[in-house]
Structure 1
Amino acid sequence: MNTFDFGIVGLGVMGRNLLLNIASNKFAAAGLDLDTEKVNSLQQEANADHKIEATTDVKHFASLIQRPRAIMLLVPAGKPVDSAIQSLLPHLEEGDIIIDGGNTYFTDTDRRFLELAEKGIHFFGMGISGGEKGARFGPSMMPGGDKKAYERLRPIFEAIAAKVDGEPCVEYLGNGSAGNYVKMVHNGIEYGIMQLISEIYDLMKRGYNLDEDTIQKTFEEWNQGDLKSYLIEITGHILKQKDEDGSRLINQISDWAKSKGTGKWTSQNAMDLQVPVPTIDAAVVMRDMSKSKPERIEAAKILTWNANQQDVKTSEAIASLKDTLFFAILITYAQGLAQLKTASKEYNYELNLETVTKIWRGGCIIRADVLEDFRKAFAANADLPNILLNSDIAKKLTDTQAGTRNVIQFAVQKGLPIAGLMNSLAYFDAYRSENLPTNLIQAQRDYFGAHTYERIDAPGVFHTQWND
């Protein structure tokens, strides 16, 4: 009793694999699940080198873990988390630590943090990215909560995390719900990049009429250069996969995209903070649009467009598409990082964006070589309000914007939907505009509602009696 280093509640895919990862790194790990089959399955999967014990008994589970206990919850977000906490509390003591490793909305974490603090229990909200394989062999982890209590968790988390240049892809991020918030924005960026890749794929296929082998090989080649990233890598794998009849599996997969809500949360909170994230917004909207399949089938018959035939060399098309995707991905990261910057001030997280970008370099779904450039930028200037203001990143954008504009013009003439790419360019053009036409909006608001406005030639607030 009281000899196990760590406990996990919830032995589904993520919980089982994280527990095996912990045991593989020479820590004793206890598991709890109400499903006897999952408990038995874990015991069978563990080998002789693993110190693992799994149970369906909450009291026995709590008695296994050394004090102060460190227990991670890997159960569905919402009421299941509260239920798991309530079942554990009678068996915990002051100073014990509970970690919520799910995709929990950050305000729920804030509530639980305060409720458990009153009982002397430390609560962490920790984002985990990397999927099933990452959980087993090295995820990126984003913990937030009590900084002193994190020292109890650090040795285990650093051992099981993905490594980049020998550095673990986990670090204490900030106060309260900082960990869940960073993971939420991570997922918003993920939504954006996935949407951009799908639009580039569609342009290759329906716009430039590239054959399937060329499309697949192009993504493989792109993963060897500036675009090297997990999502580009798996796209190359996906496009190679064959169905049972030997045809490409991708052509048999429905375009009705599902989601779990984390991208929507990012967009909703960005609006609350008044931080523009239009590429992420577009990604959420297009998943919603995908669900209207019956309507789209009917609309395709009557909302027609006769596109002009445009002859473009394949090599030129691929070069422009590469520039466009790289440009838009940079913009998507910039939007998410700007949201984190504002949220850190609003919610007192005290985030360090160098740390955030550093732990995203490995293990997580949005890992990419370009994150090292972002890390260097924030290391050089921690107060950078937007990554686009870094001279090296700015040069990458200016070098690729010509190809981006050409591709977007081509897509518009072809009548292909590219909401993500369009919104990325619109964000870039708005951000680099010293003057925006919103002065007219200010005048309109004052005209119909006497909402007042500011002038550029004098301080103060003004109202005009406009002439009808």
Structure 2
Amino acid sequence: MSNARIGLIGLGTMGAALALNIADNGFPIAVWNRTTATTQEFHAGAGDLAGMITPTETLEELVASIAKPRAIILMVPAGQAVDDQIAALRPLLDDDDLIIDAGNANFHDTNRRADAAGDLPFLGIGVSGGEEGARFGPSIMGGGKRAYWDRVSDVLNAIAAKHDDTACATWMGEGGAGHFVKAVHNGIEYADMQMIAEVYGIMRDGMDMAPAAIGETFAAWDDGPLKSYLVEISGKVAAATDPKTGKPMLEVIVDAAGQKGTGRWTVIEAQHLAAPIPAIEAAVVARNLSSQLETRQAGEALFGAAPHHLPHDTLTLGTLEQALMAGKILCYAQGFDMIVKASESFGWALPLPEIAKVWRAGCIIRSAMLDDMATALGEDTGRNLMFAPRFATLLQENHNALRQVVAQAALHGLPLPALSSGLAYFDTMRTGRGTANMIQGQRDFFGAHGFARVDGGSGHHGPWGS
């Protein structure tokens, strides 16, 4: 019986949560999972929502359960699994039925799939917020033809997070635009998390603070201008106790960070776009280095542990808060600048103010700053965010704190890859005449590449051969 408003394939953590969210918002949904037992267990555990959910055992049964024109969400692992699922599903659908890839796809794959679909309806949407967001309201970034987005926008707006009663769900542009914006979101997420971790390291190793005190500090910062989801949960992580040992939770967690590759995609694409995102790149490198536990331990044995401990009153918690503020602005500025470069390169006309608004709730990088960022981007979408009056003022007030933190950390062996890269970016972006003239001289010397002169003209050569 064709009574479901929408279908969903893939009942993993995110897929199951999203299906419950859809049902909870009043939309009948049909679901299918490759393992039938998983489908049955999901339906049995749906409680009061079970009546809104149609469990199916075959793709044919799934398709037959959805009202025409059909729309089916794929929540399967990125890569070949998506292509395989589309290939299995498409022959069972009518020409006007819509397939929606809502997984963590590489936007190049989404572009390819949209091209392969031709006139057959296809969307690629980025969904951020983790399991809790998927269940109770994620941030949704749509890509594909606008007409296809409009067909399901009632569902997507209903299930999305809300900020001041505005749905955090927006159409970003054609093809892989939605998945591209999600990738940049994840890149900013990597940098924000890394900077918080670096500040945690200063408090732990440089200031000898106990996890509980660190948790209290993050909690206090979350009541101020740094208010954000990541600062909030960092306080909760630091304050937590391991139920098995009674030790602070952070003391029993292995110092090796996992990743699913989305941050790496962002960094690779930034290189193709010539978009400078050094804080995000540093955060990805830091995760890669974190996995080299044995190598790092061997390095400590060979070179000795750095001193770490900061002399009394070298840095204050207020200085750390200001440094994190400056670093946060700089990593967001880099992310939005990358979006501008992509918009120009791919002809997407990505809506920067709307992107900032979509990120205000539901997603991992939601932050109190995003309201002001949306306003600043609306005033001038081509301007680097750090030059907008509001954020320029904040950087003027806080960059010296970032400088103090980076300098003292360097003197005492505390690694701050993301915060250091953010500071270097800031200093480069406020240096009217840098040192690339030396690089141009070198390039001309060994390769006769030529250079522009300050008194006019290009293609000049130096007297190296004379």
TM-score, normalised via structure 1 length: 0.96
- Alignment pair present for 1:104 and 2:105: yes
Checking the alignment, whether the CA contact within 8 Å between 1:208 and 1:317 is kept in structure 2 is no
Checking the alignment, whether the CA contact within 8 Å between 2:450 and 2:458 is kept in structure 1 is no
Alignment-derived partner of residue 392 in structure 2: 394
Structure 1 Cα separation of the partners of residues 227 and 326 of structure 2: 14
SS of the aligned residue for 1:75 comes to coil
Segment drifting more, 155-164 vs 95-104:
95-104
Structure 2 Cα separation of the partners of residues 210 and 305 of structure 1: 19
Alignment-derived partner of residue 58 in structure 2: 57
Cα deviations by residue, 1:144-199 (Å, 9 ceiling, x for unpaired) = 10101111111001110000000000011111100000001111111111110110
Checking the alignment, whether the CA contact within 8 Å between 1:140 and 1:360 is kept in structure 2 is yes
Alignment-derived partner of residue 170 in structure 2: 171
Written as runs of structure 1 = structure 2, the 5 A alignment for 1:348-387 is: 348-381=347-380, 383-387=381-385
- Alignment pair present for 1:338 and 2:337: yes
SS of the aligned residue for 1:148 comes to helix
How many Å apart are 1:212 and its aligned residue? Answer: 2.6
- Alignment pair present for 1:261 and 2:288: no
- Alignment pair present for 1:278 and 2:253: no
Alignment-derived partner of residue 411 in structure 2: 413
How many Å apart are 1:46 and its aligned residue? Answer: 2.5
Checking the alignment, whether the CA contact within 8 Å between 1:175 and 1:348 is kept in structure 2 is no
Structure 1: which 5+ runs fail to align? none
Structure 2 Cα separation of the partners of residues 142 and 322 of structure 1: 31
Alignment-derived partner of residue 162 in structure 1: 161
- Alignment pair present for 1:448 and 2:446: yes
Checking the alignment, whether the CA contact within 8 Å between 1:307 and 1:413 is kept in structure 2 is no
Segment drifting more, 55-64 vs 354-363:
55-64
Cα deviations by residue, 1:279-311 (Å, 9 ceiling, x for unpaired) = 111111111111221121121122237649753
How many Å apart are 1:222 and its aligned residue? Answer: 0.6
- Alignment pair present for 1:77 and 2:75: no
SS of the aligned residue for 2:140 comes to strand
Alignment-derived partner of residue 116 in structure 2: 115
Structure 2 Cα separation of the partners of residues 311 and 338 of structure 1: 38
Checking the alignment, whether the CA contact within 8 Å between 1:341 and 1:385 is kept in structure 2 is no
Structure 2 Cα separation of the partners of residues 146 and 87 of structure 1: 23
SS of the aligned residue for 1:98 comes to strand
- Alignment pair present for 1:458 and 2:453: no
Structure 2 Cα separation of the partners of residues 11 and 146 of structure 1: 26
Structure 2 Cα separation of the partners of residues 143 and 134 of structure 1: 16
Spell out structure 1 runs of 4+ moving beyond 6 A.
none
Checking the alignment, whether the CA contact within 8 Å between 2:123 and 2:148 is kept in structure 1 is no
SS of the aligned residue for 1:149 comes to helix
Structure 2 Cα separation of the partners of residues 22 and 249 of structure 1: 34
TM-score, normalised via structure 2 length: 0.97
Root-mean-square deviation (CA), in Å?
1.5
Cα deviations by residue, 1:228-266 (Å, 9 ceiling, x for unpaired) = 111111111111111122110111111111211111111
Alignment-derived partner of residue 147 in structure 1: 146
How many Å apart are 1:431 and its aligned residue? Answer: 0.8
Structure 2 Cα separation of the partners of residues 338 and 97 of structure 1: 32
* Percent identity between the two aligned chains: 39
| Partner amino acid, structure 2, of 1:394 | A
Structure 2 Cα separation of the partners of residues 21 and 258 of structure 1: 27
Structure 2 Cα separation of the partners of residues 56 and 394 of structure 1: 57
How many Å apart are 1:213 and its aligned residue? Answer: 2.4
Alignment-derived partner of residue 247 in structure 2: 247
Alignment-derived partner of residue 319 in structure 1: 318
Checking the alignment, whether the CA contact within 8 Å between 2:129 and 2:364 is kept in structure 1 is yes
Segment drifting more, 281-290 vs 40-49:
40-49
SS of the aligned residue for 2:47 comes to coil
Alignment-derived partner of residue 303 in structure 1: 303
SS of the aligned residue for 1:365 comes to coil
Written as runs of structure 1 = structure 2, the 5 A alignment for 1:24-39 is: 24-39=24-39
Written as runs of structure 1 = structure 2, the 5 A alignment for 1:194-213 is: 194-213=193-212
Structure 1 Cα separation of the partners of residues 349 and 65 of structure 2: 35
Structure 1 Cα separation of the partners of residues 23 and 309 of structure 2: 60
Cα deviations by residue, 1:416-453 (Å, 9 ceiling, x for unpaired) = 11111100000001011111100110010000000111
How many Å apart are 1:460 and its aligned residue? Answer: 2.9
| Partner amino acid, structure 2, of 1:301 | A
| Partner amino acid, structure 1, of 2:455 | D
Structure 2 Cα separation of the partners of residues 241 and 310 of structure 1: 26
Checking the alignment, whether the CA contact within 8 Å between 1:175 and 1:350 is kept in structure 2 is no
| Partner amino acid, structure 2, of 1:300 | E
| Partner amino acid, structure 2, of 1:379 | G
Alignment-derived partner of residue 134 in structure 1: 133
